A and B are shown apart, each in its own frame.
Chain A
Amino acid sequence: MPDVDVIVVGAGPAGAAAALEAARAGRSVVLIERGPFPGSKNMYGGVVYGRILDDLVPQWWEQMPIQRWVTRRQTMILTDDQALTVDYRTENWGRPPYNGATTFRPDFDAWFAERAVDAGANLINSTTVTGLLRDGNRVVGVRTDRPDGDLTAHVVIACDGVNSFLAKEAGLYHHDGAENYTLGVKETIALPRDVIDERFNVRGDHGVDIEMLGASPDVPGGGFLYTNAESLAVGLVLSLPALAASGLRPEERIAQLKAHPAIAPLVEGGEVKEYSAHVIPEAGFDMMPELIADGLLVAGDAAAMCLAAGIWLEGVNFAIGSGAAAGRAAAVAVRHGDTSATGLEGYRARLESSFVLADHRKLRDAPHLVMSDLAQQRLPALACGVVEQLFTVGNPVPKPGLRRIVRGEMKRNGVKLRDAAAQGWRALRTFG
């Protein structure tokens, strides 16, 4: 008999959800975390969309450790000295059941893993899993860096993050080239609460989420700025191969962003409290590994389930959704006495019937569209150029028509009507 029913590797949101659901189904669960506490290795922008917790933690909004509820959301399109911003605010996102919240991952992840512990999972911190134990092709447990650290189980759920050496060791990854990944870099900048309230025009525990296109002109990616209670999170997401070939380092790019005329007044005077970095699986559906093997499931960033679809930037909710599905599927398989890949197929069915794979399948083209040269380089200049001309009063010259402005800006930015139409059609099919 194995030591336990289920081993979950990694106590991030995916792992905690998997452990929570397997334990709630009555299975014995060990949740292994390599950091000194859950969340200690984890970093994101970031915002958590909490509705995925409805089924897992009743009244989660009363206990989740948040910084601010996002009630104001902006999309900014930047050139060197221009910014076009779409700004939306709603009080609905500031009351139950809320929408997005800024939170520190070491706070959120530790809190959520504690829910798994409450359900009966055994959390073991400060323990690095160094490999899989196998019996033939079948995964039967994990090797850890503890003395006598082998541990066996009916099912191993790999929630070991974006680098997932477990999924790679099991041969499940086929699209893990650098082109499918981005680097996220961030500064947490301390500012007094009332200064943040004033600069961002919010009150109480309400806050702002700003996403930027054109924030790092020569490297595909995007920028972000989020309000915490008494700090800002400012950073960039950068395509790995383009960054590596660019010659300009990540922190220099953050400095450039912070000096942008639209951003500088928001961050000035703040002191950097922490600099941090993490790699993101950017390519979505098209880079996902095989999710199931004999005795093994893969969830969260380890399964590339981060959604980087331009106007939607989500990850923690996909991690929780996939982790919970893995935990439930593992529990059923153990109960039925078949934890082979066939016995674990319920995992895929659960993902297919939920937002996790439905959204990813629908938006599989989105990461490519967003990272394209047209979206990254030409669209910001084109959009800002059109708006600038539209609102520049050039008397005594009469106002030009919108069509003439657009045509002129397209020509100036080297955008062919045919390409724009093709890309627009692709975008409509993806997002529509």
Chain B
Amino acid sequence: MSAESYPEMSFEARMGTVDFRIHERPHITLDDRKCVDCSVRGCITACPANLFVPTADGGILFNYEQCFECGTCYMVCNEEGAITWTYPDGGHGVVFHRS
């Protein structure tokens, strides 16, 4: 199986297919000082929305806006207290399509 043989959309276009009603309050926050010592950094691979991006100084840049609210990041997180996770305020966040 090779990914190259299938013409893939950009990640930006992929996330462009999803509707979000973004609230000004970040419902998830990341204290990435704790990420520097993390040997796993599973969030970078596993977050389906690719919201965790490694930075040159060994930290991780995070943006809450296009979040599926799935819970993957805090579940795979190896560092106690790095991720603070809540649901967005009522009526906000991801809204999946009706048919």
Contacts and interface: CB of A to CB of B under 8 A. Distances in A.
| Residue among B14, B15, B48, B69 with most chain A CB within 10 A | B48
Interface in A7-38: 34-36
Given A256-B3, A260-B1, A251 B11 contact: yes
24 contacts: A35-B93, A36-B91, A40-B96, A41-B94, A104-B96, A107-B99, A126-B90, A128-B88, A128-B89, A178-B75, A178-B76, A217-B1, A241-B42, A250-B46, A251-B11, A255-B3, A257-B1, A258-B6, A259-B3, A259-B6, A273-B17, A274-B96, A275-B48, A279-B71
B29 interface: no
Taking residues whose C-beta sits less than 8 angstroms from the other chain, chain B's interface range is: 35 or more
A264 B6 contact: yes
Interface residues of A, number: 63
B79 to A, nearest CB: 13
A145 B6 contact: no
Given A246-B45, A257-B1, A276 B87 contact: no
B91 to A, nearest CB: 3
B76 A106 contact: no
Contacts of A212: none
B97 to A, nearest CB: 5
Interface string B27-56: 000000000000010110110111000000
Contacts of B18: 274-276
Nearest to A183: B72
Given A185-B48, A251-B48, A273-B17, A128 B98 contact: no
A228 interface: yes
Lowest 10 A-B CB distances belong to which pairs? A244-B42, A126-B91, A277-B48, A244-B76, A259-B6, A126-B90, A127-B90, A178-B75, A244-B46, A256-B1
Given A240-B76, A259-B5, A41 B69 contact: yes
Given A273-B17, A279-B70, A125 B91 contact: yes
Contact of B70 (A106, A275, A277): A277
A228 B1 CA distance: 26
Interface in B54-99: 68-72, 75-76, 86-91, 93-99
A217 B2 CA distance: 12
Contact of A39 (B5, B8, B96): B96
Interface in A181-224: 181, 183, 185, 188, 217
A240 B78 CA distance: 12
Contacts of A258: 6
A259 B1 contact: yes
Contact of A240 (B21, B46, B86, B90): B46
Interface of B: 1-3, 5-6, 8-9, 11, 14-15, 17-18, 21, 40, 42-43, 45-46, 48-50, 68-72, 75-76, 86-91, 93-99
Nearest to B74: A163
A215 B9 CA distance: 20
A245 B40 contact: yes
Contacts of B40: 244-245
A249 interface: yes
A243 B46 contact: yes
A130 interface: yes
A279 B14 contact: no
Contacts of B93: 35, 41
B95 A35 contact: yes
Interface in A238-271: 240-241, 243-252, 255-260, 264
A251 B14 contact: yes
A279 B14 CA distance: 19
B42 A41 contact: no
Contacts of A80: 1
A358 B68 CA distance: 33
A243 B45 contact: yes
A65 interface: yes
